[in-house]
Amino acid sequence: MYEDKTLVCKDCGQEFVFTAGEQEFYAEKGFQNEPQRCKDCRTAKKAALRENREMYTATCAECGGEAKVPFVPKNDRPIYCSECFAKNRE
C-alpha cells in the first residue's frame, strides 16, 4: 500500500527517504503531514529546544533532595527528583 518516498529537508536541503513503514506509522497515529526535516535536522531541533528550556528547582517530595523540573512547581502536586521518579514509575 505504501511506497518509499524521497523528500527534501526544509532546513538543510538534503534528500531523505520517508519509508513505507514510517508512512504507515504516521497513518496509524493520525498524522496528516509528511515530515519536513531529515532525521539529523529533527534531532538537532529537539536538542536546541531542550537547551533553551528554563528549568526550575524544587524539593523532592520523597527524599527531600533537589529536583529540577521544566515547569513552575505548584504545591498541589508532589515533585520528585529523577531517581525517585524512576523508582515510583516501576
pLDDT (tens, 9 = 90+) of the chain, 90 residues, equals 899 999 999 999 999 999 999 999 999 999 999 999 999 999 999 999 888 889 999 999 999 999 999 889 988 889 999 999 999 888
| 81 burial via Cβ count (<10 Å: 0-12, 13-18, 19+) | buried
Distance CA 2, CA 39 (A): 20
Distance CA 90, CA 79 (A): 17
In this prediction, residue 53 carries a pLDDT of 86
Sequence-ordered strand ranges (E) for 5-76: 5-8, 15-18, 56-59, 66-69
In this prediction, residue 19 carries a pLDDT of 96
